[in-house]
Amino acid sequence: MPRAQQAERVPPHPDLADVTLQQVLEALVDPVRRLIVTALHAAETDVACGAIDLPVGKSTATHHFHVLREAGVIRQHYRGTSRLNTLRREEFEAAFPGLLDLVVRASQPRAD
């Protein structure tokens, strides 16, 4: 095992051109996953999985992050024992304009 220089292992991320609307809708239809999206949107920097408190167990959380990553919604990379997450804002917005806004907006208390 090459002890290289902290290779910052990166799990596979899809090209957003290869992500289908079906995938994206399936990803965003789950309330827990929208919670994650909302939290990441509010964050200024990368956020570790455990830093977002979710109403589900660890393994389920892992699953949700996985789904979001495969749908091109978030980007993940390791740092130490943590996995940091970010929204793929611009990219995603370009591919599915308006969608993230809808999710974020719906999470806010209606204050018209």
Summarize as ranges the residues that interact with a second copy (CB under 8 A): 20-22, 25-26, 28-29, 31, 34, 96-99, 101-103, 106
The single-letter code of the amino acid at 106 is A
Strand order in the sheet with 82-87: 47-48, 82-87, 74-79
Out of DNA, a second copy, none, which partner does residue 56 contact, by CB within 5 to 8 A per kind? DNA
Rounded Cα gap, residues 83 and 77, in angstroms: 6
Q: Which tokens belong to 9? A: 């292992």
Write each residue from 6 to 45 as x if it is in contact with DNA (CB under 7 A), else as -, in one continuous string.
x--x-x--------------x--xx-x-------------
Are 75 and 37 in contact, with CB atoms under 8 Å apart?
no
Binding site for DNA (CB under 7 A): 6, 9, 11, 26, 29-30, 32, 48-51, 55-60, 62-67, 76, 78, 80-83
